[in-house]
Structure 1
Amino acid sequence: MNFDFQYMLSLFPRIIEFLPIVLYMGTLSFLLAIVFGMIFAVIINNKYPVLYQILMVIISYFRGIPTLIQIFIFYFGLPQLFPSLSSIDAVTAVIIALSLRNAAYLSEVFRSAFLAVDKGQYEACISVNMTKWQALRTVILPQVTRIAIPPTGNYYIMMIKDTSLAFTIGVVDMMARAKLEAAVTFKFLEAYLMVGVIYWVISAVLQFLQSKLEAYVEKPYKKEAAK
């Protein structure tokens, strides 16, 4: 069977209409991962008794188990143990799984970013009568953000791509639409190549925006270095 380029192009409008659900799952998962990742990083840096040990086990679990298995556990497994969780829909299960999994990785990104900022800067802020919150907000966090943006942005791109696993539990997204089209026409290469190209373009756009954000954050430091 010859490759049908025209058919592949005809799939674009039918697949791209499900882009909003992909961006919704990926972006919400990313925001939650940042929140949980920051909390995890604080616990790890301060080594709070009991919490630290429990968290290290949790992080080891989410880093060591494939994403697809984690999605299955949240959607199919947990309701078996806790019937009250049977009301969780597929989209919510994907968001929870992706956010916790990536929070386990982002915790190390944030922890390293905090450690990269010289402790003397915090002490200097306190010495000029700044409160802890003022020191954190105006001096520490801007530097942490500058260090964390490149790896954090990469995780966002990966999370957008990982949403393609959602179709395995019944979420109707771009991958599910491509699979349906391929099942009807048996033109699997065209269908999967089209959805792959769309994800490729999304990743390229996000990488471009990330580079612009990095340049914006770096601008004050470049000006200072030029003096």
Structure 2
Amino acid sequence: MKPLFDFQFMIAIIPDVLQVVPVTLNITAVSMVLALFVGLTTALVRIYRVPLAKQLAALYISFTRGTPLLVQIYLAYYGIPKVLEYLQLNYGWNLNVNGIPAIVFIYFAFTLNVGAYLSETIRASIEAIDKGQMEAALSIGMTRLQGMRRIILPQAVAIALPSFGNTFISLIKDTSLAFMISVVEMMGQAKILGARGLQFFEVYIVVALIYWGICILVERVVAVLETRAKRFEGAKTA
């Protein structure tokens, strides 16, 4: 009787899958860092109600949260080269559209997608801080920027940390969509390996376990950071 799983095949493909784990982590890390900048900027624009920029930020968040990530990836992949080609033909811009690596479009799409969600998290965290703290900072001679950087943001980060961790884990899993535009990460590698012997079930089990292991590790790291953040908050209160 044929066994349900080919364990030898599953063990044999583990190194091949692990080989592309750095690609998955690279997409996750780069997109998360850029998204934090986008999210913070968008949140501050909305908090301080910057004219025109506030409406554009609200439109960006609404569109991003209201459309699937896969659609956004395709819009970036097919739309950006089309816009660059238009600029090249009509304005003489010297742009090598064909030389853009596919991973750049993944960075772009993931950054804007995650940035929209982080913006709401950051905005809620900043608004959760007592406004009197900023007033106190201004009263002792700090600028608004100094008060935000030294007093408000450290507390907001402590509040938002659990949400940041959840977003980071979700981003790790969402990188599986990158293969849709030929970026070979873990899921892409799984499809390639599975197609060789039509053993997709075994390959997907291996990939699922590796994803799970990475996410567990991230959860542990976030838990440690949360503990330290709570100690920081306790020290400040004392």
User: How high is the TM-score relative to the length of structure 1?
Assistant: 0.93
- State whether structure 2 residue 195 is matched by structure 1 residue 190: no
Amino acid at match of 1:151: S
Aligned 8 A contact 1:8 1:190 in 2: yes
The one-letter amino acid paired with 2:118 is L
1:180-220 CA-to-partner distances (Å, cap 9, x unmatched) read: 11111111110011111111110000000000001011113
Structure 1 residues 159-193: Cα deviation after superposition (integer angstroms, max 9, x where no partner): 11111111111112211111111111111110011
Question: Residue type of the partner of 1:50?
Answer: L
Q: Which of 30, 33, 36 pairs up with 2:32? A: 30
Within a 5 Å distance, the mapping from 1:72-87 to structure 2 comes to 72-83=74-85, 84=95, 85-87=97-99
**2:50 aligns to what SS in structure 1?**
coil
**Pairing of 1:10-159 with structure 2 (within 5 A):** 10-83=12-85, 84=95, 85-159=97-171
Q: 1:48 Cα shift?
A: 1.6
> Deviations for 1:77-125, whole angstroms, at most 9, x for unmatched residues?
3323431454432111011100101111111001101100001111112
How many residues matched?
226
**Which of 157, 160, 179 pairs up with 1:167?**
179
Aligned AA (2:150): T
Q: For 1:27-86, what per-residue CA distance to the aligned partner results, in whole angstroms no more than 9, with x for missing partners? A: 000000000000000111122222111221121111111111111111123323431454
Mapped to 1, the partners of 2:168 and 2:36 lie a distance apart of: 10
Q: 1:223 to 1:48 in 2, by over 3 A?
A: closer
Structure 1, gaps ≥5 residues long: none
RMSD: 1.6
| Residues 1:133 and 1:224: Cα distance change in structure 2 (over 3 Å) | closer
Matched residues in 2 for 1:110 and 1:101: separation? Answer: 15
> Equivalents in 2 of 1:204, 1:111: separation in Å?
28
Counterpart CA distance in 1 for 2:235 and 2:34 is 34
Per the normalisation by structure 2, the TM-score is: 0.89
Q: Give how far 1:3 is off.
A: 1.5
| Partner of residue 210, structure 1 | 222
**CA contact under 8 A between 1:75 and 1:88: conserved in structure 2?**
no
Letter of the aligned partner of 2:50 in structure 1?
Answer: Y
Percent identity of paired positions between Structure 1 and Structure 2: 37
Q: For residues 143 and 41 of structure 2, what CA distance do their matches in structure 1 show?
A: 21
User: Unaligned regions of 5+ residues in structure 2, if any?
Assistant: 86-94
Q: What one-letter code is carried by the residue in structure 1 that aligns with 2:140?
A: V
Contact 1:75 1:89 in 2 (8 A): no
Q: What SS does structure 2 have at the residue aligned with 1:56?
A: helix
